[in-house]
A and B are shown apart, each in its own frame.
Chain A
Amino acid sequence: MQEEVIISGRNIPHIDPHLEIWHWPIPVYLFLGGLAAGILFFAAYYTIRGREDELPTAVKWSTFLTPFLLIIGLVALFIDLKHQWYFWQLYLTIRIESPMSWGAWVLMFITPLSILWSASYVKELFPGWRWKPDFLNRVEELVISYRKPLAWIMLFLAVILGIYTGILLSAFNARPLWNNALLGPLFLTSGLSTGAATIMWMSKQHHERSIFARIDLILIGIELFLIIHLFMGFLAGPEVQLEAADMFISGAYALPFWGLVVGLGMILPAILEVLELRGVKIPAAFPALLILIGGFIFRFIMVEAGQLSSYPY
Chain B
Amino acid sequence: MLKASSLAQYTRSPEWATKAIPNFCEVCFWKCAKWVNLDEDGNIRSLKGIDDDPHCNGRLCPRGTGGLGMYYDKDRLTTPLMRVEGGDGQTFKEVSWDEALSFIAEKMNSLKERYGPESVALFNHGSSGKHFTHLLKAFGSTNITAPSYAQCRGPREVGFKMTFGQTLGSPEPTDIRDTRCLVLIGSHLGENMHNGQVQEMSDAIDQGADIITVDPRYSTAASKSRYWLPIKPSTDLALLLSWIHVIIEEGLYDKDYVEKHTYGFDRLRHHVKRMTPEWCYGITTIKPDLIRKTARTMAGASPAVIVHPGRHVTWYGDDTQRTRAIAILNALLGSWGRRGGFYFSEKVKIPSFPTPDYPKAKWSWRELLDGKYPLAGLSVSQTFIEASIAENKSEHPIKGWLVSGTNLPLTIPDNSRFEKAVQDVELFVAVDTMPMEVTGYADVVLPECTYLERHDDLRSSPHRQPYIALRMPAVEPLGDSKPAWWMARELGLKLGLDAYFPYEHFEEVLEWQLKQLGTSMEEMQMTGIKRFERQNPSLYLKDEEVPYYNTLSGKIELYSTELEQHGFDPLPNYVAHPEPPDNYYRLNYGRAPMHTFSRTSNNDYLTDLMETNTVWVNPRVAKIWGFKKGTKVKLRNQDGVVSDFPIEVRITERIRWDSIYIVHGFGHNNKKLTKAYGKGVNDTALITKVMTDPIMGGTGMRGNFVTFELIEEPENATI
Contact = CB atoms under 8 A, between A and B. Distances in A.
A and B touch in the complex (CB under 8 A): yes
Interface of A: 1, 3, 5, 7-9
Nearest to B652: A3
Interface in B670-719: none
A1 B611 contact: no
B653 A8 contact: no
A9 B610 contact: yes
Nearest to B608: A9
B619 A1 contact: yes
B648 to A, nearest CB: 12
Contacts of B653: 1, 3
A83 B594 CA distance: 34
B609 interface: yes
Contacts of B611: 9
Interface string B569-597: 00000000000000000000000001000
Contacts of A8: 594, 609-610
Interface residues of B, number: 11
The B interface is mostly helix, strand or loop, or mixed, namely mixed
15 contacts: A1-B619, A1-B653, A3-B651, A3-B652, A3-B653, A5-B650, A7-B610, A8-B594, A8-B609, A8-B610, A9-B607, A9-B608, A9-B609, A9-B610, A9-B611
Nearest to A8: B609
Residue in A5, A8, A9 whose Cβ sees the most chain B Cβ within 10 Å: A9
Contacts of B594: 8
A8 B592 CA distance: 11
Contacts of B650: 5
Nearest to A3: B652
A3 B649 CA distance: 14
B438 to A, nearest CB: 27
Nearest to B653: A1
Contacts of A3: 651-653
Nearest to B610: A9
Nearest to A9: B609
Contacts of A9: 607-611
Interface string B594-619: 10000000000001111100000001
Nearest to B593: A7
Given A3-B651, A3-B652, A9-B607, 12 more contacts: A1-B619, A1-B653, A3-B653, A5-B650, A7-B610, A8-B594, A8-B609, A8-B610, A9-B608, A9-B609, A9-B610, A9-B611
A7 B610 CA distance: 7
Nearest to B62: A8
A7 B650 CA distance: 12
Contacts of A1: 619, 653
Contacts of B607: 9
Contacts of A5: 650
B627 to A, nearest CB: 14
Interface in B644-675: 650-653
A17 B610 CA distance: 16
B461 to A, nearest CB: 30
A5 B611 CA distance: 14
B182 to A, nearest CB: 23
Which 4 A-B pairs have CB atoms at the shortest separation, nearest pair first? A9-B609, A8-B609, A1-B653, A9-B610
A9 B619 CA distance: 22
B454 to A, nearest CB: 30
A9 B603 CA distance: 14
A3 B652 CA distance: 7
Contacts of B608: 9
Nearest to A2: B653
A7 B663 CA distance: 13
Nearest to A5: B650
Contacts of B651: 3
A148 B652 CA distance: 69
A109 to B, nearest CB: 47
A288 to B, nearest CB: 44
A3 B614 CA distance: 15
Interface in B25-80: none
A1 B623 CA distance: 13
